[in-house]
């Protein structure tokens, strides 16, 4: 019997986990080395039990998949990269490479690392074998949004409709429509369904986070606050909900609240937001954060570049220092937050070349955002 992967987690993993995605995954020699010291005692105990069951029956794919799923969920909750490293190691060591359930987990891990083209290929193989595979369909839709393939994503979202709840399919369709340059109507569609479809808490938290993002892009801060707060309140353990809400609070200048939210987590992205909320680059926490970024540089990791550029821009007030990290993150990740950050540093340093690159990106992908319009308009 198929074991379903959490639908909302599949969507959030691709669309909302920018704060800790696209990094070189930690691969320990022994899966029991560190993971049992991470997280709550309850989570540690459950992971230990699942690991023991998997090791005791190496040919039991169900036991292996249960262990991998729990590791991925732990990574998504905590933002801690080691969980994903253990999961990848287990998947690579499992037999039956053609098993669709294992392929789905492999695609999820590729998605997490921002290896979207590879993830899309694996997901397409799954759907070639089972066109009704709802988890693979939703994940491929989200991956295609990251690949800037909105028409193909919309086709996947539409194909989902007979197999998932209305809130899931509508959120997916709204994302694809927004990516096609129809943000106002995408927002109207999503808000209409949110008004009368409750959905499961995790699904509604994801949908609320998407609605909040739409509102920010349209300049409606009141609506954005409502949905960011609901997203976080429904799933306060979600790394995605926590980070996006903390970021919005920081942008609104509500630093004490942002600090409270960021302090609920322990990932490097959470720590960065706690330091940004403190508004003091000279604290011990700020020094430790910069040291952690230097260590990430030494490991050739890249996910921290955006947060370091934000730190340099907003706390050090040094846009020239921030710009190389902002540019590198924009070039590697090609995402909206990177475009906004590069535009901010370029406007402050009168860097016409970078501003032109951001403007070309906005036009190419039909990206609507009043913040980006303002930054590019002021610089003209």
Q: Could you write out the DSSP letters of every residue in 130-177? A: -TT-HHHHHHHHHHHHHTT-HHHHHHHHHHHTTTS-HHHHHHHHHHHH
Which residue's structure tokens are 């990740």?
333
Which residues does 379 contact at the CB level (< 8 Å), separation at least 6?
343, 346, 347, 350, 352, 355
The pLDDT of residue 251: 96
Whole-angstrom distance, CA of residue 248 vs CA of residue 246: 5
What does the alpha-carbon distance between residue 280 and residue 278 come to, in Å, rounded to a whole number? Answer: 5
Q: How many residues are there in the chain?
A: 380
Token digits of residue 284: 């011990």
Report the range of poorest mean pLDDT among 43-52, 61-70, 325-334. Answer: 43-52
Q: Is residue 117 a contact partner of residue 147, using CB atoms and an 8 Å limit? A: yes
The whole-number pLDDT of residue 36 equals: 36
Token digits of residue 202:
């995790």
pLDDT band at 123 (very low <50, low <70, confident <90, very high): very high
More confident residue, 264 or 75: 264
Q: Is the confidence at residue 202, as pLDDT, over 50?
A: yes
What pLDDT sits at residue 74?
83
> In the predicted model, is pLDDT for residue 219 greater than 50?
yes
pLDDT of residue 72: 87
Residue 4 has pLDDT above 90, yes or no: no
- Provide the token pair at 41: 């005692």
C-alpha span between 186 and 141 (Å, rounded): 16
When pLDDT is cut at 50, 70 and 90, the band that residue 83 belongs to is confident
Q: Is the pLDDT of residue 348 over 80?
A: yes
How far apart CA 157 and CA 138 sit, in angstroms, is 7
- DSSP secondary-structure letter at 35? G
Contacts 24+ apart (CB under 8 A), 125-128: 126/100
Asked whether residue 228 carries a pLDDT value surpassing 50, the answer given is yes
CA atoms of 24 and 142, how far apart (whole Å): 21
Q: How much is the average pLDDT of 307-333?
A: 96
CA distance 82 to 20: 11
Q: Check residue 77 and give its pLDDT.
A: 75
What pLDDT is stored for residue 78 in this prediction?
72
SS3 335: coil
pLDDT at 179 over 70: yes
Look at residue 31 in the predicted model and tell me its pLDDT. Answer: 39
> Residue 164 above 80 pLDDT?
yes
Task: Give the C-alpha distances (Å, rounded to integers) separating 53 from 11, 38, 343.
Answer: 28, 19, 51
pLDDT band at 110; cut points 50, 70, 90: very high
Choice among 41-50, 126-135, 145-154 with the minimum mean pLDDT: 41-50
Mean pLDDT, rounded, of the chain: 86
How far, in Å, CA of 46 to CA of 241, rounded? 24
Buried b (16+ CB within 10 A) or exposed e, 263-292: eebebbbbbbbbbbbbeebeeeebeebeee
As a whole number, mean pLDDT of residues 254-262 equals 97
In this prediction, residue 55 carries a pLDDT of 60
Nearest to 340 by CA among 303, 301, 302, 379: 379
Model confidence band, residue 76 (pLDDT cutoffs 50, 70, 90): confident
Give residue 134's pLDDT band: very low, low, confident or very high (50, 70, 90). very high
Predicted local distance difference test score (pLDDT) of residue 12: 52
pLDDT band at residue 46 under the 50/70/90 scheme = low
Task: Give the model's confidence band at 61: pLDDT under 50 very low, under 70 low, under 90 confident, else very high.
Answer: confident
Residues 289-319 have pLDDT tens digits of: 999 999 989 988 888 999 999 999 999 999 9
What pLDDT is recorded for position 315? 96
Distance set, CA 300 to CA 23, 24, 25 (Å): 9, 7, 11
**Whether residue 158 has pLDDT greater than 90:** yes
Among 315, 318, 263, 325, which Cα is nearest to 293's? Answer: 325
Closest residue by Cα to residue 211 from 230, 235, 233, 237: 230
Percent of the chain with pLDDT over 70: 83
In the chain, the N- to C-terminal Cα span, in Å, equals 59
Pairwise CA distance, residues 97 & 380, whole Å: 54
């Amino acid at each position: 019997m198929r074991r379903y992967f959490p639908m909302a987690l599949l969507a959030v993993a691709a669309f909302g986990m920018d704060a800790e995605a696209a990094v070189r995954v930690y691969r320990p020699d022994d899966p029991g080395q560190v993971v049992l010291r991470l997280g709550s005692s309850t989570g540690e105990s459950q992971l230990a039990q699942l690991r023991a069951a998997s090791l005791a029956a190496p040919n039991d794919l169900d036991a292996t998949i249960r262990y991998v799923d729990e590791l991925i969920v732990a990574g998504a909750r905590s933002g801690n990269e080691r969980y994903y490293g253990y999961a990848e190691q287990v998947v690579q060591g499992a037999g039956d490479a053609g098993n669709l359930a294992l392929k789905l987990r492999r695609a999820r891990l590729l998605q997490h690392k921002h290896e979207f083209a590879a993830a899309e290929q694996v997901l397409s193989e799954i759907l070639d074998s089972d066109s009704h595979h709802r988890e693979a369909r939703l994940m491929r839709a989200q991956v295609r949004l990251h690949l800037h393939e909105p028409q193909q994503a919309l086709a996947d979202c539409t194909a989902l409709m007979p197999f998932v709840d209305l809130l899931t399919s509508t959120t997916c369709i709204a994302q694809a429509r927004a990516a096609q340059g129809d943000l106002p109507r995408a927002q109207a569609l999503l808000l209409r369904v949110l008004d009368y479809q409750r959905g499961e808490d995790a699904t509604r938290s994801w949908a609320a986070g998407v609605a909040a993002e739409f509102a920010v892009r349209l300049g409606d801060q009141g609506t954005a606050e409502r949905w960011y707060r609901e997203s976080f309140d429904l799933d306060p353990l979600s790394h995605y909900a926590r980070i996006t809400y903390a970021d919005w609070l920081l942008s609104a200048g509500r630093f004490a609240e942002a600090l409270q939210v960021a302090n609920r987590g322990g990932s490097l992205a959470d720590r960065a937001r706690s330091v940004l909320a403190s508004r003091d680059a000279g604290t011990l926490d700020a020094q430790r954060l910069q040291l952690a970024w230097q260590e990430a540089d030494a490991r050739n990791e890249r996910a921290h570049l955006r947060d370091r550029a934000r730190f340099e821009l907003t706390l050090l007030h040094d846009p020239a220092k921030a710009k190389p990290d902002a540019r590198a993150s924009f070039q590697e990740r090609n995402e909206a937050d990177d475009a906004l950050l590069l535009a901010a540093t370029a406007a402050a340093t009168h860097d016409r070349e970078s501003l032109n690159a951001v403007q070309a990106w906005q036009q190419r992908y039909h990206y609507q955002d009043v913040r980006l319009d303002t930054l590019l308009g002021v610089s003209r």
